[in-house]
Amino acid sequence: MSMAKPLSKLMSCVILDLDGTLINTDGIVCDVLRVHLVKFGKKWDGKRAHRIVGKTPYEAAAAIVEVYELPVTADEFLSELTPIFSKKWGSIKAQPGANRLINHLRSHGVPIALASNSSKENVETKISFHRGWKESFSVILGGDEVTNGKPSPEIYLEAAKRLKMDTSTCLVIEDSLPGVTAGKAAGMEVVAVPSLPKQTDVFTSADEVINSLLDLKLERGRRDITNRTLVDWRSSHQRIWPWLESARNPYS
């Protein structure tokens, strides 16, 4: 069954999520929790990872404390984990296709924003380990710069505002359900790249679901009268963008 929807829009910019979308944060988080929960006599269950993916750090900590019935508050648990995670950020690898995508968009002059539920400080620390990433983004937003994190659309609305773009011309690429929900609520087109296995069926609100950033077929762009590179979404089972074309639809 195809998830494609009839569309005919020109997209002028791309807003990317960070954790799980561009970098494999989930692997590091699971490794840390697997070790740390032993302190409480608990065993990490990877099947519960969906409870924390796409959440703010506090929300994720609160979910773990609740699910595993830990004898600490969410604030205390987060305080324990923060220094541990800080030592791990340099070892987080880019997701397959992330460097290719960022380099392609930058070389074609496409405005790119980064919008993450992580704090601005953590976002900048994480991307500092990936050459060329920081200077590729016109806007970098952390979850602590808005009142409400994803699934609220606030961070995406703010990203569009700082890019000076209409929300209807923004393309969002996300790995989590809260992120997809936020992007759609902001009035944007959203491509989902689920970071957890066997989760594609829950992303029904996304405009398209792909398995990997490598599934994006990158093409040369065309420009409008203001010399901005455009993304052309055509009404078909396989959307086509001049500089960002989905190579295949897993639901076809």
How many whole angstroms separate alpha carbon 68 and alpha carbon 45?
10
Q: Fill in the DSSP letter of residue 89.
A: G
Catalytic annotation present for 17: yes
DSSP letters of 168-215?
GGEEEEESSHHHHHHHHHTT-EEEE--SSTT-GGG-TTSSEE-S-GGG
- The yes-or-no answer on residue 19 being catalytic is yes
**Catalytic residue chosen out of the listed positions 19, 26, 175, 207:** 19
Looking at 17, 26, 207, 232, which residue is catalytic? 17
Measured CA distances, 181 to 28, 111, 117, 136, 192 (Å): 25, 22, 13, 25, 10
Cis peptide before 151 (omega within 30 of 0): yes
Q: Which residues are catalytic?
A: 17, 19
